[in-house]
Amino acid sequence: DIQKTNGYEEDGYYRVDFTYGIAIKNVRQLQEIKTLWQQEQERSAQAKTAYAEREQRVALLRQEIESLEQASAPRFEQFDDGQMHHSQGISATRVLTPREQYLAALDAWRNHPPEALRLKQQELKAYEQAFKDQWGNYSYQFLGQVGPAVSRFYRQGCPSTTYKFTQGMLEGHAQAAEQSNDPSHWFEARELHMKGSVTMRKTENGWRALNDQ
C-alpha cells in the first residue's frame, strides 16, 4: 500500500516521498493465540468456581467425619471405673490399668473404624483425588502473560535489527491494554505506518532510482 506523498526536484534530481504500511506476521496465527487465551480464561473461571465448591464440600465432609469420630471413639471414662481388668489374649495374670485399656481400645478403633466412619473417610479421599486429577495439574500458557507472549510471537525468528519496527506497535498494544484493563487489545492486528523517500535521475531509459531510504 505504497502511496506517494510528495515529489520535487532537488539539485537536478527528482525526489519522491512516500508512505507504506507493514503488516507483521499472519493475522490468523495471532487469532489462534487469542482463541487459546480465551479458552484459558474460561478454564480459569471454571477453576475458580470449582475451588470454591471444593472448599465447601471438603468442609462438610470433614464435619461429618468429626461427628462420626466423636460418636464412635472410645472415651477414657468408659474404662476409669476404679477397677483393674485382666487383659485378653496376653496373659491371664496381666492386669491392665484404665489408661492401658483406653489406649488399647483407641488403637483398635483406629485400625478398624466403624463402617459409617470408614466409608465417609473414603468418600473424602476419593473426592480429593478426583478434584486433583481434574484441576490440580493444569498450567496456563498465556493467561496473565499475554503481553510477553504476543511480543515473542512477533519477534520470534526475526533478527534483533527488526525490533525497532515492532517496538512502536507493541507499545501501542500495551498502552491500549493498560488503559482499558483489557488484555485482548494485544491481539489487535495493526500495521506499522512507515515513511520513505527515493531520489531519481532521468536517464536515456527513463527515470531510475539512485537510492532507497
For the cut 80, the answer to whether the pLDDT of residue 179 exceeds it is: yes
CA distance 87 to 94: 6
- The rounded distance, in Å, linking the Cα atoms of 146 and 150 is 6
Confidence at residue 59, expressed as pLDDT on a 0 to 100 scale:
97
Give mean pLDDT, residues 71-83.
Answer: 82
Q: Look at residue 136 and tell me whether its pLDDT is greater than 50.
A: yes
- Count CB neighbours of 116 within 10 A: 13
CA distances to 1, 202, 205, 213 from 209, in Å: 19, 9, 12, 11
Query: Would you say residue 212 has pLDDT above 50?
Result: no
Cell 471444593 belongs to residue? 54
Tens-place pLDDT, residues 17-74: 877 666 666 778 888 888 999 999 999 999 999 999 999 999 999 999 999 999 999 9
Cα–Cα distances (Å) from 119 to 15, 61, 114, in that order, read 88, 11, 9
With beta carbons less than 8 A apart as the criterion, state whether 62 and 162 touch.
no
Choose the weakest-confidence range: 120-124, 155-159, 184-188: 155-159
CA dist 148 → 32, 141, 166, 183 (Å):
16, 11, 13, 11
Q: What is the pLDDT of residue 128?
A: 96
The answer to whether 7 and 207 are in contact (CB under 8 A) is no
pLDDT above 70 (res 122): yes
Mean pLDDT over the full length of the chain: 81
Confidence band of 117 (pLDDT split at 50, 70, 90): very high
Annotated domain spans of the chain: 3-212
| H helices present in the chain, as ranges | 27-72, 98-111, 115-131, 146-155, 163-180
Q: How many helices (H) and strands (E) does the chain have?
A: 5, 6
Range in 6-10, 19-23, 115-119, 199-203 the model is least confident about:
19-23
What torsion, rounded to 10 degrees, do the Cα atoms 152, 155, 157, 158 define?
-160
Greater confidence (121 vs 206) lies with: 121
Question: pLDDT at position 186, please?
Answer: 84
Q: pLDDT band for position 83 (50/70/90)?
A: low
Cα distance between residue 64 and residue 53, in whole Å: 17
Residue 84 pLDDT exceeds 80: no
Least confident of 94-108, 131-145, 192-206: 192-206
Is it the case that residue 162 has pLDDT exceeding 70? no
List the Cα angle 142/148/151 in 5-degree steps. Answer: 115
- Which residue in this structure is represented by grid cell 491494554? 177
Q: Helices 115-131 and 27-72 sit at what angle, rounded to 10 degrees?
A: 170
Its pTM stands at: 0.60
Q: How many whole angstroms separate alpha carbon 179 and alpha carbon 161?
A: 29
pLDDT recorded at residue 213: 46
